[in-house]
Structure 1
Amino acid sequence: MKVKLAPVELFSLMINFLLGSAIVVGWNFQPKQDVWISILLSLGFGVGIFYFYLLLHSLGKWGNLIQLLELGFGKWISKLLGFIYCLYFLYIAGRVLKDFSFFIGQVLFINIPFWIISFTFLLVVSYSCFVGIEATARSSLILCVFTCVIILVLMVFGYLSPHFELSRLTPVFRTSWKQILSSIFPTGLTFPYGELIVFTMIFPYVNNRKALRKYGWIAVCTTGMLLLVAGEMILGLLSPETVNLYVFPFVKAVELNVVTDFLPHLEAFTVILNLIGGFIKISVFMYGGFMILAQMFPKAKRNRQILTATILTFLCAFILSKNIIQHLFIGLKIVPLYMHIPLQLIVPFILVISLIIKKYISKKQGDSPPPL
């Protein structure tokens, strides 16, 4: 069965994916009142990254990532890199799963072990991989509406809250550019926008590539603007001095909003946001890893490939970090520098150079006159 995605389905998938865990834990408030500058700069780089991945596809005749690697580096190097990317996608899926488990365990089910939350959620994600990316994308289209409405409603109540103080957003332009850039590189650049690398396995399925080229940036900008508005709300509610004390600042900010006695706990909506974003993000990463497994081992049964991807994701969620402090340290200090940068930027950049050179050589050979 040939997979086909409408541009609007892909855009909704991208919005939910990019928001994912970013709407809950995705801010770096080190620049304090100037955090909006780092968010906007990260957004600009995010649009550039999106078009960079589209350039990669246009040079490689819209093959998926594994086909592009084989076209640029040859059969054996592409197999090695494909295996690395498979583990990378499944590892990031495991990290997002652990983000989700920590969040739900601390906010909703305090006495439930993390592994039970993760295992239950992973069953739903596995079924999503089984039915395919088309069904997930259609679901994402509906869920995207709920996501945007919930965020906007929470923003309205947040900015109108008596706890919100506009003075906490000023003064601006007091943070050094060195500190702002350190908040962008590598964390703000690679999370969440650099994670669009997994969409190199999905872009070839879009049935209207012109619309993807023309309007794809809208999904990235929508995400960036939602994060910007939410980040300013958090600062206005929690203050720049205390915001970094919270693991989940968005949830803490929303807790300050009480809408009459009928809606005393608006933070419950943050759980819904995390459920939607976590489901889409883990599903996309797992599907990317599963697709690579299917391409590397075409004779294996589909059920076994999905089961393998599920087990690896579950193991990555629990073996590689023991508690939330270690989890955040690895995610913010080690993973961006030693995993994201090489696999999101360096390898694709070298691949683009390789494809350009091969295209130039092929064109030269085609233009040269035949030997006498």
Structure 2
Amino acid sequence: MVKLAPIEIFSLMINFLLGSAIVVGWNFETKQDIWITILLSLGFGVGIFYFYLMLHSIGKWGNLIQLLELGFGRWISKILGFIYYLYFIYIAGRVLKDFSFFVGQVLFHNIPFVVISFTLLLVVSYSCYLGIEATARSSVILCAFTGVFILILMFFGYLSPYFEFNHLTPLFRTSWKHIFSSVFPTGLTVPYGELIVFTMFFPYANDKKALRKYGFISVCTTGVLLLLAGEMILGLLNSETVTMYVFPFVKALELTSVLEFLPHIETFAVILNLIGGFVKIFIFMYGGVMILAHMFPKTKPNRRIIAAAILTFLVTFTLSKNIIQHLFIGLKIVPFYLHIPLQFIIPCILVICLLIKKYIVKSL
């Protein structure tokens, strides 16, 4: 029986939530008021986390597929389970493409995207073969590295001579309508709504009470780090030019150096993306593998992993041709047509069904 310590789930959530968000997940449409957008998204993110925990507590801490069976019955749960499998694999492919674009444009300009993606996918597939426990233990160490690197980068970013506090003002110039349109659906669904995949892992926590505390801390920590990083980016680039860059975090760090002997400190952003991208792809891909294991228990684990890896690789290179199309699909289409139904609508209906069944059982 798989058992995960609260600190392991905490580290997985930190790396997962930061993921590619710290590098590519920025929306500066609200300009100097982006801090309001981040804080509102964080507040909703905490609510989303506790909503998923409530789903588990009502369903006696079964995983997502078991909850679907309990709420909707065997056949509907199989259909929904397969849909969630495709959804998890699709998001894993999208994150893999985020990683490929980033490394290809920032670090290795002459290496084809296919080589970069295939290399990381091999590492993720091997981690799936080792299992969630081994990767969770590694994630504790990776989380420590992530925290140290982010704090160091932001420390020197705020101390950079190019950082200007007047770039952070004026405040409260954005209409609330514009702010809420920035929060919903993008700010809700990415990264907080993506915690839906953790409904496959929360039941493995060996201390459910500690899970509530550690999960809350991880969500809040992520929000605070994104807030500090967002303000640093604005202070270095200003609100007029920041929207010109696909990777504003890296561009801001290009204006930063450590005591003039380490001029290319932005290379550390690659390490952050490696760690976050690896964990996020692993979580989604392994979540999909777990769904296959539940739906087809007689198939061999290696075949399930190979099938998930092949499908993830195909998704990466078939659904968008360039970074502009990739970002448009990810920001304008996926949130409305995939994230909202699968992260919120179906879970809400599931909660209602579980509560009705629970009430009926008590009344008998």
Shorter-chain TM-score range: over 0.9
2:174 maps to amino acid: T
The RMSD of aligned alpha carbons is 0.6
Q: Write the distance in 2 (CA, Å) between the matches of 1:168 and 1:108.
A: 29
Query: Which stretch of the first structure deviates more once superposed, 117-126 or 254-263?
Result: 254-263
Partner of 1:369: none
Partner of 2:141: 142
Q: Write the distance in 2 (CA, Å) between the matches of 1:215 and 1:124.
A: 27
1:280 counterpart = 2:286? no
Partner of 1:44: 43
Deviation at 1:258, TM superposition (A): 1.6
Deviation at 1:164, TM superposition (A): 0.3
Give 3-state SS (helix, strand or coil) of 1:173's partner. Answer: coil
Whether the 8 Å contact between 2:189 and 2:335 is mirrored in structure 1 is yes
Partner of 1:176: 175
Q: Write the distance in 1 (CA, Å) between the matches of 2:299 and 2:11.
A: 32
Deviations 1:226-263 (CA, angstroms, capped at 9, x unpaired): 00000000000000000000000000000100223421
Deviation at 1:167, TM superposition (A): 0.4
Partner of 1:228: 227
2:129 maps to amino acid: F
Deviation at 1:213, TM superposition (A): 1.9
Give 3-state SS (helix, strand or coil) of 1:336's partner. Answer: helix
Whether the 8 Å contact between 2:127 and 2:282 is mirrored in structure 1 is yes
Give 3-state SS (helix, strand or coil) of 1:345's partner. Answer: helix
Partner of 2:262: 263
Deviation at 1:26, TM superposition (A): 1.2
Partner of 2:347: 348
* Structure 2 counterparts to residues 48-197 of structure 1, below 5 A: 48-197=47-196
Partner of 1:329: 328
Q: Write the distance in 2 (CA, Å) between the matches of 1:284 and 1:194.
A: 14
Whether the 8 Å contact between 2:32 and 2:169 is mirrored in structure 1 is yes
1:232 maps to amino acid: E
Q: Write the distance in 1 (CA, Å) between the matches of 2:257 and 2:160.
A: 8
* Structure 2 counterparts to residues 5-24 of structure 1, below 5 A: 5-24=4-23
Deviation at 1:343, TM superposition (A): 0.1
Q: Write the distance in 2 (CA, Å) between the matches of 1:170 and 1:272.
A: 31
Query: Which blocks of at least 5 consecutive residues in structure 1 are unaligned?
Result: 366-372
Partner of 2:307: 308
After TM superposition, what 4+ stretches of structure 1 lie above 2 angstroms from structure 2?
A: none
Deviation at 1:16, TM superposition (A): 0.3
**Number of aligned residue pairs:** 364
Deviation at 1:353, TM superposition (A): 0.4
Q: Write the distance in 1 (CA, Å) between the matches of 2:179 and 2:58.
A: 34
Q: Write the distance in 2 (CA, Å) between the matches of 1:323 and 1:215.
A: 38
Whether the 8 Å contact between 2:7 and 2:214 is mirrored in structure 1 is no
Deviation at 1:216, TM superposition (A): 1.7
Give 3-state SS (helix, strand or coil) of 2:234's partner. Answer: helix
1:364 counterpart = 2:355? no
Give 3-state SS (helix, strand or coil) of 1:72's partner. Answer: helix
Give 3-state SS (helix, strand or coil) of 1:282's partner. Answer: helix
Deviations 1:123-143 (CA, angstroms, capped at 9, x unpaired): 000000000001111111000
Deviations 1:207-226 (CA, angstroms, capped at 9, x unpaired): 00011123321000000000
1:35 maps to amino acid: I
Deviation at 1:296, TM superposition (A): 0.7
Identity of aligned residues (%): 78
Partner of 1:368: none
**TM superposition score normalised by structure 2:** 0.99
Partner of 2:218: 219
Q: Write the distance in 2 (CA, Å) between the matches of 1:334 and 1:309.
A: 23
Q: Write the distance in 2 (CA, Å) between the matches of 1:33 and 1:200.
A: 35
**TM superposition score normalised by structure 1:** 0.97
Query: Which blocks of at least 5 consecutive residues in structure 2 are unaligned?
Result: none
Give 3-state SS (helix, strand or coil) of 2:171's partner. Answer: coil
Give 3-state SS (helix, strand or coil) of 2:41's partner. Answer: helix
2:199 maps to amino acid: T
Deviations 1:79-104 (CA, angstroms, capped at 9, x unpaired): 00000000000000000000000000
Q: Write the distance in 1 (CA, Å) between the matches of 2:165 and 2:289.
A: 47
Whether the 8 Å contact between 2:101 and 2:113 is mirrored in structure 1 is yes
1:9 maps to amino acid: E
Q: Write the distance in 2 (CA, Å) between the matches of 1:194 and 1:54.
A: 13
Q: Write the distance in 2 (CA, Å) between the matches of 1:33 and 1:262.
A: 32
